[in-house]
Structures are given as C-alpha cells and as structure tokens.
Structure 1
Amino acid sequence: MFLLLLFILLQSLPYLPVQPFCLFKKVTGIPCPGCGCTRSLGFLMQGDWERSWNYNPMVIILVVYFSVVYLLSLYDLIMKTGFSWRVTHFPIGKYGYILLIFLTLSLWIRNIICGI
C-alpha cells in the first residue's frame, strides 16, 4: 500500500504548483549536485526519460543501480546465496573515490550552467 501511494505521489510531482526547494540553493543561490532530483524522478516514473535526464542524469543511473541491487538481494533471499553482498561490498579504492568526486563535481557544474 505504501509503495502504491509513493508511486502516485511521484507521478504527480512534476505538476504540483509548489515544488520542493533546495535549502543550499535558497541560501547560496547556487544549485547543488542534487538539484532537480525530485522532478527527474517524477518524470522518470512517468516514462519521460528525456526530461528526467535533463533535470538530473544521476537519478536514472541511481535508479538502475538500486533496481539491480534490489533484484540481486531478492535472488539471494530466494536462492540463499551471498552474491549480492559480494557485488555491492567490493572495495572502491583510491581511483574509485576520485571518480565519484569527479562525477559529483561534473554534475554540480552542469547544474550551475543549466540553471537547474
């Protein structure tokens, strides 16, 4: 029941007259790396991939990632394996953290340029 209500809410998010606001953007006037996520998720739930990507591309990537993790966890639950733990708990390493920082900064710069 909760998931159904969440789905209905997310369907209507892009069309609500009052959108959630970003406290960071309110204080500094600069969009944060997460700005546009709510609208992006709402459009993704409606199947509008292009508008979702335009608001925040990281949302699509994270939804795909968490969907795969959920399916692997469900597989583990049914088959009694530890496969999802091995897939999701691998060491990232120094270069992995550098890549994450680079992607976050790139998204932040993109949001500033696009004025999201």
Structure 2
Amino acid sequence: MSDDRLTHAEWTAAIEDGDLLGQRCPDCGHETAAPKAACARCGSREVETVSLPTEGVVHTATTIAVAPEGFEGPYRVAVIDLGEARVLARLDGDAGIGDAVELAGAVDDRDEPAPLFS
C-alpha cells in the first residue's frame, strides 16, 4: 500500500491554496476528487494522489435554503464535473447545470474548508 496516500488535511490545505487534489486508481483509472481509503470502483487500496483541473462544468446544483446548525444560509452547492472526477462544492453566483465554472477559492465553515466555484 502507498505511504503517500492523500489525507483530508492535505486535501483541505490544497483547497485553501487554490489547488484541487484527488486520487486516481492505477488499476482501473477511476478518479475521485476527495480522499478515499480505496478505489470506489474496483476496491483497490493502491490509489495515487493527482492534481485535478480547476475548471469544470456544473453537473447538478441546488440551494440550501435552511442551513444546518452552525452554517449561514441560504447557500448553493453543486457537483462539478472535472472530466474524470467530480467534486461537491459551494457555488458562488447563479451558475446552472451545464455552465462552465472555475475554482474561486475556499469557503471555511466551522473549520471545514470546501471548494468554492464561480
């Protein structure tokens, strides 16, 4: 098993620096935009860290009108298609399904940074 597996702390630090990191499975080629213990497609534990594009397309989006406790609402979230991977992110502005967006930084709610696309 790889000793350089992407951690959540490394992933969030990269987001804060304006970078997106993900993982690729060398066995099946599946990519994911968040740290995982194993490949979601084939189960291989030999995943490697990769840089992901910072530009993508809105796959789906919604507005959270009633925010969970500790969060300010309303706010928008979207699944952003980055080619081989998708990432759940906050969405700044009114982009809709099929619109091109790019990483605009990070939203830091309750010390849990999330990618912000606009």
Q: TM-score range by the shorter chain?
A: under 0.3
Report which structure shows greater RCO (CA 8 Å, sep ≥6): 1
Larger radius of gyration: 1
TM-score normalised by L of structure 2? 0.23
